[in-house]
Amino acid sequence: MKTALVTALVFLFLAAAAPAQDIDVKAWDAVVEKARGETVYFNAWGGSESINAYLEWAGEELRERYGVKLVHVKVDDTANAVTKVVAEKAAGKDEGGTVDLIWINGENFASMKRQDLLMSPGWAEDLPNWQYVDVENKPTIRTDFTIPVEGLESPWGMAKLVFFYDSARTDAASLPENADELLEWAEANPGRFSYPQPPDFMGSSFLKQILAEKAEDQAVLQRPAEEADFEAVTEPLFAYLDKLNPLMWRGGKAFPQNYPAMKQLLADSELDIIFAFNPSEASSAIANQELPDTVRSFTFPGGTLANTHFVTVPYNATARAGALVTANFLLSPEAQARKQDPKYWGDPTVLALSKLDDKDRALFEAINLGVATLGPDELGPAIDEPHPSWMERIEEEWKRRYGVGN
Amino acid sequence: MLTRLAPSLAMLLLAGPILLGLTGTLLPAFGYLPALGGMHPTGEYLARLLQEPAIFHSALMSFAAGLITAAVSLTVVMLFVGGWAGTRLFSRVLHLVSPLLSVPHAAAAFGLAFLVAPSGMIARFISPELTGWTRPPDVLILHDAMGLTMMAGLVIKEIPFLFLVTLAALPQIRLAETRALAASLGYGRVAGFLFGLWPQLYPQIRLAVFAVVAFSSSVVDVATILGPTSPAPLAVRLLGWMNDPDLSMRYLASAGAMLQLIVTAAALGAWTLVERICAALRDSFAAAGKRLRRDHAIRIAAFAAMTLSATVVIAGLGTLAVWSVAGLWQFPHALPKDFTLKSWIAAGPRILSPLTTTLVVAFFSTLLAVALTLLCLAREDEKGRKVRRGTMLLFYLPLLVPQAAFLFGLQLFFILTNSAASIVALVFAHFIFVMPYVFLSLSDPWRAFDRRYDAIAAGLGKGAWVRLLRVRLPMLTRAILTAAAVGFAVSIGQYLPTVLIGAGRLTTITSEAVALASGGNRRVIGVYAFLQMVLPALGFLVATLVPALLFRRFRAMRV
């Protein structure tokens, strides 16, 4: 007991005394050595039980293998974690920050990169497990919402917008195949569709899907919104929403808070069509007895949004080595395979199966993707994410038009 | 020595944090917060607050919630006690209602939500047979814009509270005699009670009613679970600003807390007005000679309202429990297709740390409160007179000042002294709210203690401390443990103190449960809310079993 206390104190002292700099990702053994005993505060969205459970597993493995303690700081909006780092920078806290690792993509990455809040120079492509990453076939791994990644964040999973319905209630032939048909469908089935209230990430993504489909000129979305006529470009989107919102659940007067809430509404048969960014979400919900086994997936043949989500390290992180070890572990074939299994989470991998050895590839091939999951060839074309500046403006405009109060 | 210091210590520990906290809230509202660089007083933040969208709507909602909740709960309790006190049915209802006091607000609110939602238990039971619904109707019940569901959620919890407070005051009025007199003059039961007994009873429960007004006008957890969202009631928006990682939002939150203080004060002021109007109405009825002899309908209605509110809580908790073990459970099935312990197993490891915090904080804050209460009461005996009304007000103070108004400042104080998110700070914050309840529930049995035991012990040559420790405390074991169980339950139910002083790093079952509300995962909410309900019940179980075991060989000490 006493020795443990002394050791802990010594560690505390060492941790406090050690300079935060001098981390060389290329000297990986040194990084792993340094990481031992560190506590990594991982700021990640905490709204899904299966993801939380996955992170608990990861924490357990990290502790056993590397002596790294992973603490999942559950945030309800990643922007809050970013604001925390901004506040720390404003207060001159350039070392010893409270955030070590953030689950991030798109707007928040762009914002952190712009404000120099990320640990640099780029480190992700020097992680040992980077060798397995499918950079060739997954362009969003190196370009996040049109912003070059430059190794400032490490890929964690792939996302593609897919829709779910209950085949016991809804005839597959009646399902919409694009935004316009969705509106027609809502007219025929009032009150049976909704989207989470923006700025919830899923709700905002739905707005982007509509924008991408309705905008006259796709190319303009790939450039900052400031360079375009915002009102003219988004006019079709808001005209669409003006028509759609009154046809939605609760007449568009209330919205589900997030994806899990929407999932519950599908189970209660309040909603008929819901959507998620994770193609195997429905299978995983069926496995957890949250949705009936008659739920199936569909997507728009014309394409839906696709992107990659990442983890990144703030510039003032305290446990940098621990954060890197965590990022590398999350990229390992073992962790990625477990993540892809709908039993645990069902999030598609960022790795290329062709780059894995036989043993690791077998891990992936053994996964039963489940009845409700579309195969990789059925997912349809990918629509690129617009430049992050569009999202910020659209969320503001949405709030002004449809959201009262906070 | 120790007993002499106790009352001052209690005053210091209760009034101190409130004054300190209020100061800590008011200064930033005017732009003074040196830690964030705010050195110069400014009215800028108040102006910004007034420009927040729909801020007056939020304030008005809080104001109305305070008044309406108190009015409805008090009316039900008043008419029920008036119509039924002294009957056998009355004691039956008492047994039904009194355990509900220990149910945390958040758990009751979740239960109500699971019951009345369009896809809730009620709709499931009557569908599709009665309604023809094969799927939930598209109506907005939870988070309704008028806040009606939120007020209902408050009413079902405030009724047991006011009922038990009224019950505690009943022995001090001459119920049977006055009732017989009123009846002989030809007054109906309810009229006789209202004209003859209520005027004596009400002053004794007035502070408790004030506490209901103050609590309902500033509640956060129930409002988060059931209340309107666009816009939300004032206190919910305040907490959002307070938790904003952008620290400069704290000025706005402080300005909002000041508005909350004004809203609650206004609600209390309006309540005194309501009191006067009602008293005038009663007087004019009495003067007009109304006897209300046929009050059967009123009595039945009061009984129905009372049982309904209790049934709603119990049925809600039952629904929560079922959800926590539910497999697939689709509308309109009244029961899940299959049952599974998966939610419990999955939540198990995650629950351990908040559960430990909950128990540790509840235990120590209760221990402190019981110890201090006993010392205060012992001091009262030494001085030989009851506490004055002013002192009573002090004990009610933490229940009358809106929590947000002083907890913001208190949090700031803890941050400045580097003790935020420490278990000691959290115990202390809970203690502020536990102490009043412990004192209120222990003082009556203490004062009712038969002094002759004391006299005998003194006659046998025992000193004051020996008499206290060897005679009085053992004989009061049951009352002390019950008071402790009340305190324990209060601590478990605390939401705002936990969120603010625990700063998100120390979480309890209650704060985790409310945080889960937005995700809408009913199974997980079921697990947390079920635990929330079970823990206080365990406290009361201990308070019942221990005296029974202790006194099994003492016939006179048995119930």
Check pLDDT > 60 for residue A9: no
Check pLDDT > 90 for residue B413: no
Helix (H) / strand (E) containing B185: none
- Please state, rounded to an integer, the average pLDDT across all residues of chain B: 90
Is B37 inside any structural domain? Answer: yes
**What CATH number corresponds to the domain at position B424?**
1.10.3720.10
| Partner residue facing A405 (CB), from B136, B231, B504 | B231
Check pLDDT > 70 for residue A20: no
Contact B527, B515 (CB under 8 A): no
Residue B283 and residue B376 share a domain = no
Is B143 inside any structural domain? Answer: yes
CA distance B139 to B275: 36
Check pLDDT > 50 for residue B351: yes
**Cross-chain Cβ contact B522/A264 below 8 Å:** yes
Check pLDDT > 50 for residue A13: no
Q: Exposed, middle or buried: residue B527 (CB in 10 Å: 0-12, 13-18, 19+)?
A: buried
Check pLDDT > 70 for residue A10: no
Is B321 inside any structural domain? Answer: yes
* pLDDT tier at B401, thresholds 50, 70, 90: very high
Check pLDDT > 60 for residue B231: yes
Residue B527 and residue B551 share a domain = yes
Check pLDDT > 70 for residue A4: no
Q: Does A396 touch chain B (CB under 8 A)?
A: no
Residues from chain A contacting residue B53 (CB–CB below 8 Å): 404-405
Read off the pLDDT of residues B331-342 as tens digits, 9 standing for 90 and up: 889 999 999 998
Residue B393 and residue B349 share a domain = yes
Contacts of A358 (CB under 8 A, 6+ apart): none
Calculate how close chain B gets to A34, using CA atoms only, in Å. 26
Using the 3D structure, point to which of B340, B361, B376 is the last residue of a domain. B340
Q: Does A191 touch chain B (CB under 8 A)?
A: yes
Read off the pLDDT of residues B24-35 as tens digits, 9 standing for 90 and up: 889 999 988 877
**Cross-chain Cβ contact B522/A292 below 8 Å:** no
Domain range spanning residue B468?
Answer: 1-42+345-559
Residues from chain A contacting residue B140 (CB–CB below 8 Å): 250, 253-254
Contact A60, A32 (CB under 8 A): no
CA distance A321 to A32: 7
**Cross-chain Cβ contact A270/B140 below 8 Å:** no
- Please state, rounded to an integer, the average pLDDT across all residues of chain A: 89
**Cross-chain Cβ contact B349/A56 below 8 Å:** yes
Residue B531 and residue B511 share a domain = yes
A309 in helix, strand or coil? strand
Is B92 inside any structural domain? Answer: yes
Give residue B348's pLDDT.
82
For A403, half-sphere exposure in the C-beta direction (CA atoms, 13 angstrom radius) is 20
CA distance A392 to A208: 11
Closest-CA residue of B relative to A286 is: B328
What is the DSSP secondary-structure string of A189-240? STTSB----TTSHHHHHHHHHHHHHH-S-SGGGGS-GGGS-HHHHHHHHHHH
Read off the pLDDT of residues B469-492 as tens digits, 9 standing for 90 and up: 889 999 999 999 999 999 999 999
CA distance A241 to A263: 22
Count A/B contacts: CB-CB distance under 8 Å.
109
Which residue, A53, A46, A40, is CA-closest to A346?
A: A53
CA distance A369 to B452: 78
Which residue, A153, A205, A142, A183, is CA-closest to A323?
A: A153
What is the DSSP secondary-structure string of B142-165? TT-TT-HHHHHHHHHHHHHHHHHH
Using the 3D structure, point to which of B317, B340, B363 is the last residue of a domain. B340
Q: Does B37 touch chain A (CB under 8 A)?
A: no
To test the contact with chain A by mutation, choose from B55, B58, B144, B229 the residue with the greatest count of A C-beta atoms within 10 A, namely B229
**Which residue(s) pair with A162 in the sheet?**
A276
Closest-CA residue of A relative to B55 is: A405
Read off the pLDDT of residues A169-208 as tens digits, 9 standing for 90 and up: 999 999 999 999 999 999 999 999 999 988 888 999 999 9
A403 in helix, strand or coil? coil
Residue B206 and residue B87 share a domain = yes
Is B187 inside any structural domain? Answer: no
CA distance B213 to B71: 9
Give residue B387's pLDDT.
65
Query: In the predicted model, what is the mean pLDDT of residues B97-108?
Result: 92
Read off the pLDDT of residues B37-69 as tens digits, 9 standing for 90 and up: 788 888 889 999 998 888 999 999 999 999 999
* pLDDT tier at A79, thresholds 50, 70, 90: confident
For chain B, what is the domain count?
2
Residue B54 and residue B37 share a domain = no
Residues from chain B contacting residue A83 (CB–CB below 8 Å): 244-246
* pLDDT tier at A168, thresholds 50, 70, 90: very high
Is B191 inside any structural domain? Answer: no
Calculate how close chain B gets to A28, using CA atoms only, in Å. 32
Check pLDDT > 60 for residue B105: yes
Helix axis angle, B55-84 to B198-218, nearest 10°: 150
Query: In the predicted model, what is the mean pLDDT of residues B525-543?
Result: 93
What is the DSSP secondary-structure string of A61-129? HHHHHH-PEEEEEEES-HHHHHHHHHHHHHTT--SSBS--EEEE-HHHHHHHHHTT-B-SS--GGGSGG
Is B177 inside any structural domain? Answer: no
In percent, how much of chain B has pLDDT > 90?
A: 61
In percent, how much of chain B has pLDDT > 70?
A: 98
Which residue, B474, B503, B112, B515, is CA-closest to A52?
A: B515
Say which residue, B211 or B553, is predicted with more confidence. B211
What is the DSSP secondary-structure string of B41-102? --SHHHHHHHHSTTHHHHHHHHHHHHHHHHHHHHHHHHHHHHHHTTSHHHHHHHHHHGGGGG
Give residue A11's pLDDT.
43
Phi, psi for B33 (deg, rounded to 5)? -155, 80
* pLDDT tier at B79, thresholds 50, 70, 90: very high
A307 in helix, strand or coil? strand
Which residue, A342, A391, A394, A310, is CA-closest to A141?
A: A310
* pLDDT tier at B287, thresholds 50, 70, 90: very high
Give residue B386's pLDDT.
67
Is B181 inside any structural domain? Answer: no
Helix (H) / strand (E) containing B170: none
Question: Which architecture, in CATH terms, is A162-306+380-402?
Answer: 3-Layer(aba) Sandwich (3.40)
As given in the structure block, the two tokens for residue A5 are 């206390």
Closest-CA residue of B relative to A51 is: B346
Residue B107 and residue B141 share a domain = yes
Give residue A193's pLDDT.
96
CA distance B519 to B195: 50
* pLDDT tier at A147, thresholds 50, 70, 90: very high
3-state SS, one letter per residue, for B335-383: CCCCECCHHHHHHHHHHHHHHHHHHHHHHHHHHHHHHHHHHHHHHHHHH
Q: Does B232 touch chain A (CB under 8 A)?
A: yes
Check pLDDT > 90 for residue B313: yes
Closest-CA residue of B relative to A291 is: B328
Say which residue, A288 or B355, is predicted with more confidence. B355
Q: Where in chain A is the domain with CATH 3.40.190.10?
A: 15-157+309-374, 162-306+380-402
**Cross-chain Cβ contact A47/B135 below 8 Å:** no
* pLDDT tier at A257, thresholds 50, 70, 90: confident
A393 in helix, strand or coil? helix
Give residue A17's pLDDT.
40
Give residue A404's pLDDT.
59
CA distance B429 to B403: 11
Using the 3D structure, point to which of B275, B310, B340 is the last residue of a domain. B340
Rounded to an integer, what is the distance from CA A295 to the centroid of its chain?
A: 23
Q: Which of A79-83, A88-92, B456-460 has the highest mean pLDDT?
A: B456-460
In percent, how much of chain A has pLDDT > 70?
A: 94
Read off the pLDDT of residues B501-524 as tens digits, 9 standing for 90 and up: 887 778 899 998 988 877 678 898
Identify the CATH assignment for A15-157+309-374 out of 3.30.70.100, 1.10.10.10, 3.40.50.150, 3.40.190.10.
3.40.190.10
Which residue, B97, B82, B79, is CA-closest to B307?
A: B97
Read off the pLDDT of residues B422-479 as tens digits, 9 standing for 90 and up: 899 999 999 999 999 999 889 888 988 888 998 999 999 998 889 988 899 999 999 9
A359 in helix, strand or coil? helix
Least confident window among A9-18, A315-324, A383-392:
A9-18
Residue B417 and residue B272 share a domain = no
Contacts of B413 (CB under 8 A, 6+ apart): B20, B21, B24
Give residue B559's pLDDT.
61
Residue B333 and residue B221 share a domain = yes
**Cross-chain Cβ contact A267/B329 below 8 Å:** yes
Q: Does A115 touch chain B (CB under 8 A)?
A: no
CA distance B237 to B229: 9
Residues 243-282 of A with CB under 8 A from B: 249-251, 253-254, 256-258, 260-261, 264-265, 267-270
* pLDDT tier at B321, thresholds 50, 70, 90: very high
Give residue A83's pLDDT.
81
Residue B48 and residue B36 share a domain = no
Read off the pLDDT of residues A309-331 as tens digits, 9 standing for 90 and up: 999 999 999 999 999 999 999 99
| Partner residue facing B138 (CB), from A48, A53, A249 | A249
| Partner residue facing B140 (CB), from A81, A253, A405 | A253
* pLDDT tier at A7, thresholds 50, 70, 90: very low
Residue B458 and residue B333 share a domain = no
Residue B92 and residue B56 share a domain = yes
